[in-house]
Chains A and B, each alone.
Chain A
């Protein structure tokens, strides 16, 4: 098969581009340590979240020095808790699940973003920095009231977080 010299060059450059793109993703995973939402959590009974110790009371908990866990429930058409209050300059692991249909969880203006599938728990870990107020939107169509489904994430100073009694609901 005759392949023009320029075409061979183009082919070679294309393969270099493809390998480079795969390289960037690999670097993102092993360098900055961007982990994907995955199957790390056990499945839950979406119809019986009231009886689940993690989700019966959606909340934020301290689990270590500067380490927090948040348990969030999404449903048509809200998030609980709202606002989610977490301290600044800390590591927060969010566990998000749905009581009914598929939803999305996106902290606007950041890369904290996941699908929420009923029966599954999405686990994402984020680093907070300065105190700020963020919006949370459901970014997957979930029914006729989808556009009113929003929540809030408040990153507050350590002292303010402690004044609130640590946990928020």
Chain B
């Protein structure tokens, strides 16, 4: 491809149809981000008892909506947009059939709308529908069938998206039989392969068990089995969120820093490692589950620790690439080069701050992975503290920062205000530093996650890093800053969309210092890596799943059904019962005192 030509043309100039799909996917992502942020701020202020504008029984509707809209809609819509851009750009050819492309986008949008409706209906007592089962939808709590149906339609949409990209790649391959797979395309293909493996389990869980059960076709399910199938998907999905961020760090960040990627071969190694290791680790979410043997947990722990390797390699390569850029621009000294970087650009500073927080998230993740110390923090607020650093910042902030760079490429419209953008990404960092740190600390005090009212009547939390109340204040302030940051991002983008189209915005991506010609040919052998990945998954999961089915049966050991959409009936009861329970507890306590 001619660099001179690309320098004149932006992505939208060359591929206007694909650019429209990318914009549509991004806007769907940002709509979900907007909804997710509204539920985020309601939740933060409720949990910390700053402002409780909803009854506590509705908190779980808010929590389900925040989780699903943020980590399914926002992240995955952004991913399909970014991957469409990356594959088309790096193969330098349009997608095979844009109608198929719009079909998968449409399926994803319809699926998410169905799931969204089933969740939001939980706020309206007169509608007999609810999906207050949180992002993890653990049986035997049961959501309305529409919730599961929407998820299936959404996932089928992502499968067709992957097929669309693979077919386009194969068409390119027949025209270029001897060329290396371009790096961005390689990243798209390995990530989608991982996704097919990961989603096979959750699709099986929903289609074979949860959906027929919610429709009343089967009476019960095996809760350990559906839980295990969820986590088979639930860990690789976090890498599905993360790979778009990695793609931006590897292929766009070095360019913004004024340099180029340090090593193409190692970038390929990293993506292959994620393909191999992302899935056979899911049992580390079930360290404290009864009914799963300790040996299986140990194997999962070992695999999890090795999954640190690709991220540690990434830390080196990304920092080295940025340093290379700084030195190209006259940077010198051991750390002096840091001043030769474009810190005023929100796309640069946003991604660097996201990477810094990812390092912190990596360290708290090592604690989570440490099987026996996990007892201390399992299901405490430590865990959301951890993943707000990873998916909530490494991913979300990189996506926002990346948008400042990529939006002009896909629309020919310059960003409305870089200053607002810079302020916004820094505000996110500060807000998250406050919120996440305080969440980790509360987790160590034993404060549970996923609860509307973490203050209990019968005991007080110990005081370690400042008390419970003080940490609540930090969480509330941090959460509020994050909400303001999100609104600034969305406002800046809306104003950008109002800008007139201009020419001359094209920013071609440079080739790496150590290019693909240095990469061993075997790295591009996708069939080999897929085979190894499948073997590892079978090794990690065949015995545990067989043991779970043997213990509890395919359809569970006589466990009942607890549909959440009868919850409105319970609302009134719970509201009435809460003070009653308190009164009874107090009365019995004083009675005990008297008797003594």
Contacts and interface: CB of A to CB of B under 8 A. Distances in A.
Interface in A98-148: 100-102, 104, 106, 108-123, 133-135, 137-148
Given A102-B141, A139-B448, A108 B461 contact: yes
A109 B312 contact: no
A38 B378 contact: no
Interface string B541-585: 000000100011000111110101001001100100110010000
B590 interface: no
B292 A143 contact: no
A63 interface: no
Contacts of A41: 290
Most buried by B among A28, A76, A147: A147
Given A25-B370, A119-B556, A148-B577, A43 B291 contact: yes
B140 A43 contact: no
Nearest to B562: A101
A39 B570 contact: no
Nearest to B56: A147
A111 B263 CA distance: 44
Interface string B50-61: 000000110110
A2 to B, nearest CB: 5
A15 B373 CA distance: 21
Given A39-B547, A139-B380, A148-B577, A100 B560 contact: yes
Contacts of A141: 60, 63, 134, 138, 141, 450-451
B560 A109 contact: no
Given A17-B308, A100-B560, A115 B288 contact: yes
B132 interface: yes
Given A14-B308, A145-B574, A135 B559 contact: no
A169 interface: no
Given A43-B552, A101-B562, A117-B290, A18 B453 contact: no
Contacts of B391: none
A122 B290 CA distance: 5
Contacts of A104: 379, 448
B375 A111 contact: yes
B442 to A, nearest CB: 11
Nearest to A48: B558
B290 A135 contact: no
Contact of A143 (B378, B457, B462, B570): B570
A152 B588 CA distance: 14
B134 A145 contact: no
A155 to B, nearest CB: 13
A147 B52 CA distance: 14
Interface stretch (A29-37, A54-62, A66-74): A29-37
Contact of B372 (A28, A112, A133): A28
Interface residues of A, number: 72
Contacts of A119: 222-224, 291, 552, 556-559
B289 A37 contact: yes
Nearest to A83: B458
B330 interface: no
A76 B57 CA distance: 13
Contact of A106 (B294, B306, B379, B570): B379
Nearest to B548: A39
A108 B459 contact: yes
A106 B461 CA distance: 13
Contacts of A21: 305, 308, 366, 369-370
Interface string A1-41: 11110110011001101100110110011000011111101
Interface string B506-540: 00000000100011100000000000000000000
Interface in B130-153: 132, 134, 138, 140-141
Contacts of B309: 14-15, 18
B212 interface: no
Contact of B141 (A43, A143, A145): A143
Interface string B276-317: 000000000011111111100110011001101100110011
Most buried by A among B60, B448, B456: B448
B564 A121 contact: no
Contacts of A4: 262-263, 320
A15 B449 CA distance: 32
Nearest to A116: B290
Given A137-B456, A148-B577, A46 B557 contact: yes
A150 B410 CA distance: 53
14 contacts: A10-B312, A14-B313, A17-B312, A28-B370, A46-B560, A100-B562, A102-B227, A118-B140, A118-B223, A120-B552, A139-B448, A141-B141, A144-B132, A148-B453
Interface of A: 1-4, 6-7, 10-11, 14-15, 17-18, 21-22, 24-25, 28-29, 34-39, 41, 43-48, 76-77, 100-102, 104, 106, 108-123, 133-135, 137-148, 150-152
Given A21-B370, A38-B297, A118-B559, 12 more contacts: A1-B265, A25-B370, A25-B372, A43-B552, A102-B227, A106-B379, A108-B462, A116-B290, A122-B290, A139-B448, A147-B454, A148-B578
Query: Which are the 7 A-B pairs with shortest beta-carbon distances?
Result: A135-B459, A119-B557, A28-B372, A139-B448, A34-B372, A108-B446, A139-B379
